[in-house]
């Protein structure tokens, strides 16, 4: 039997995730791997939560996979909060984390704190995620001190796309691997409760995972991290562009949706939808006609 993924009432909490790292054994039966996915709306959050995902991240990947931008940079704090509120309504058990979008934590610390507080007050998120290592030390410490748990994010940080010159694997040279180790240590020392490692060599991710007391969450960082995260649209086959090699596709909902919509188009055009059984009748006394549950537009 695998270890119980949740404690007590089933709610995943920050202390419980830290505890999992401390008490994790090596055997697969004791696996306490942390399962994370992104979500941006109520139905997806609810499905993920009910399926037993541990951490739901309202990622700023929202910009690309749900809003159609070609990077994460344009999404605003208000848009992130709007989506986080919807995800909150669908999330009962998982820990809810929201990405602080580009620009919302890049000026002074006081403003960054006010922005993080908005996520907690307006969307009831339980933690925020910020990208960057050593250079976020002061910010992470300030947020943590203000009782806002922080998830770090190092390696390929998509908000740095312009300075990195593209989306590339990080930490491949000795110098950049050493920088990543310093970043990981800094994020932990500042008080983060977990850190995302994105697009880094497996060997380096394993070394960071061994060194840190906080859990590492990998995305394109190999199997030795304490947990894994994927962008939900990638794993469900709901993206239009080529996905990175680490984004395993578990379903092809894009194809399912296209097929369903083509069927609907055909049926409306041919008159096959709606049928008589899907219609109401004047003067009918049938009780079946009474309860109408419709979405009101
Ligand atoms: O925005 C996002 O979805 C993320 C994950 C890929 C970690 O930051």
pLDDT digits (tens, 9 = 90+) for 67-86: 999 999 999 999 999 999 99
Average pLDDT over residues 267-272: 98
Indicate which residue's Cα is closest to atom 4 of ligand 1. 59
d(CA 174, ligand 1 centre) in Å: 26
pLDDT tops 80 at residue 26? no
Q: What does the block give as tokens for 223?
A: 């199997």
Contact 181, 170 (CB under 8 A): no
How many angstroms separate the CA atoms of 108 and 10, rounded?
37
Q: Is 60's C-beta closer than 6 angstroms to any atom of ligand 1?
A: yes
d(CA 111, ligand 1 centre) in Å: 23
Closest among 208, 154, 157, 147 to 181, alpha carbons compared: 208
pTM: 0.93
Average pLDDT over residues 228-244: 96
Q: Is 38's C-beta closer than 6 angstroms to any atom of ligand 1?
A: yes
pLDDT tops 70 at residue 12? yes
Task: Tally the C-alpha atoms within 13 A of residue 253's C-alpha that lie toward its C-beta.
Answer: 10
Task: Judge whether 138 counts as a catalytic residue.
Answer: no
Average pLDDT over residues 120-145: 98
Q: Is 219's C-beta closer than 6 angstroms to any atom of ligand 1?
A: yes
> 247 CB contacts (<8 Å, ≥6 apart)?
230, 231, 234, 235
Looking at residue 104, its pLDDT comes to 98
- Spell out a b/e string for 34-50, using b for 16 or more CB atoms within 10 Å of the CB, else e: bbbbbbbbbebbbebbe
Nearest atom, ligand 1, residue 61 CA:
1
Question: For the chain, what is the mean pLDDT?
Answer: 93
Percentage of residues of the chain with pLDDT beyond 90? 87
Tell me the best of 129, 150, 157, 238 to mutate to test the pocket of ligand 1, counting ligand atoms within 8 Å of each CB and taking the most: 129
> 188 CB contacts (<8 Å, ≥6 apart)?
152, 195, 212, 213, 214
Average pLDDT over residues 256-276: 98
Nearest atom, ligand 1, residue 196 CA:
7
């Amino acid at each position: 039997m695998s270890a119980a993924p949740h404690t007590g009432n089933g709610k995943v909490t920050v202390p419980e995730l830290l505890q999992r790292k401390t008490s994790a054994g090596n055997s697969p039966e004791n696996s306490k791997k942390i399962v994370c996915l992104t979500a941006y709306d109520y139905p997806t959050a609810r499905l993920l939560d009910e399926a037993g995902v541990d951490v739901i991240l309202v990622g700023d990947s929202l910009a690309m996979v749900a809003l159609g931008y070609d990077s994460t940079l344009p999404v605003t704090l208000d848009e992130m909060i709007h989506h986080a509120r919807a995800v909150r309504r669908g999330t009962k058990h998982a820990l809810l984390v929201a990405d602080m979008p580009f620009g919302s934590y890049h000026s002074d610390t006081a403003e960054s704190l006010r922005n993080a507080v908005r996520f907690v007050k307006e969307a009831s998120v339980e933690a925020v995620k910020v990208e960057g290592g050593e250079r976020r030390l002061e910010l992470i410490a300030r947020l943590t001190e203000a009782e806002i748990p922080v998830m770090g994010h190092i390696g390929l940080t998509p908000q740095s796309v312009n300075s990195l010159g593209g989306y590339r694997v990080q930490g491949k040279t000795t110098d950049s691997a050493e920088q990543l180790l310093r970043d990981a240590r800094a994020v932990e020392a500042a008080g983060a409760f977990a850190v995302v490692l994105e697009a880094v060599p497996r060997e380096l991710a394993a070394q960071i995972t061994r060194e840190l007391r906080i859990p590492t969450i990998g995305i394109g960082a190999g199997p030795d991290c304490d947990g894994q995260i994927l962008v939900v649209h990638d794993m469900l086959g709901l993206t239009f562009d080529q996905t990175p090699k680490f984004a395993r596709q578990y379903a092809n909902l894009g194809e399912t949706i296209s097929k369903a919509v083509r069927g609907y188009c055909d049926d409306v055009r041919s008159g096959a939808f709606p049928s008589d059984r899907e219609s109401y009748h004047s003067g009918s006394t049938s009780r079946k006609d009474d309860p109408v549950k419709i979405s009101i537009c």
